[in-house]
Amino acid sequence: MEFMPLLVILATVKKLIDFVRYAKAGDANAIVTQLVAWAAAFGLVALAAHTPWAASLVFGEVPLSKLGIAAQILVGVAVGSAASLTNDVIKAADNTQTAAVPRLLDPARTTGPARVSR
């Protein structure tokens, strides 16, 4: 049994749950950041699908060049989720803030009952 697909699915589920939590808390910065991660990942997956080396990128047993748009969206969401989860792990392990980055949205524009720093 291959564990990589399972890990990617777990990362996607985790980030979807986080997204719902961000929405419930009204954390606009976290919501926009996650949406940008998913959109960027899908954009890059769709772009990569039209390159000469797309046949060598295989998901399951299907090369990226053969995936339809729906499958590319799913792969993009999975890749974006894995990237977000990796960033979460780095932030959790970094107690010196060496991996700190500025917020995507201005904190003054963030609305909602809770402002969670991302």
Query: Is residue 111 assigned to a domain?
Result: no
Query: Is residue 112 assigned to a domain?
Result: no
Query: Is residue 118 assigned to a domain?
Result: no
Start-to-end CA span in the chain (Å): 35
Query: Is residue 101 assigned to a domain?
Result: yes
Q: Give the residue numbers spanning the domain of 102.
A: 4-106
Q: How far is CA 2 from CA 90, 102, 112, in A?
A: 25, 37, 41
- Tens digit of each residue's pLDDT (9 = 90 or more) over 32-58: 999 999 999 999 999 999 999 999 999
- Tens digit of each residue's pLDDT (9 = 90 or more) over 59-112: 888 999 999 999 999 999 999 999 999 988 888 887 777 767 777 887 765 555
Entry field: residues in the chain: 118
Q: Look up residue 110 and give its amino acid.
A: T
In terms of Cα–Cα distance, which of 33, 27, 29, 18 is closest to 113?
Answer: 27
pLDDT at 114 exceeding the cut of 90: no
Give the chain's domain count: 1
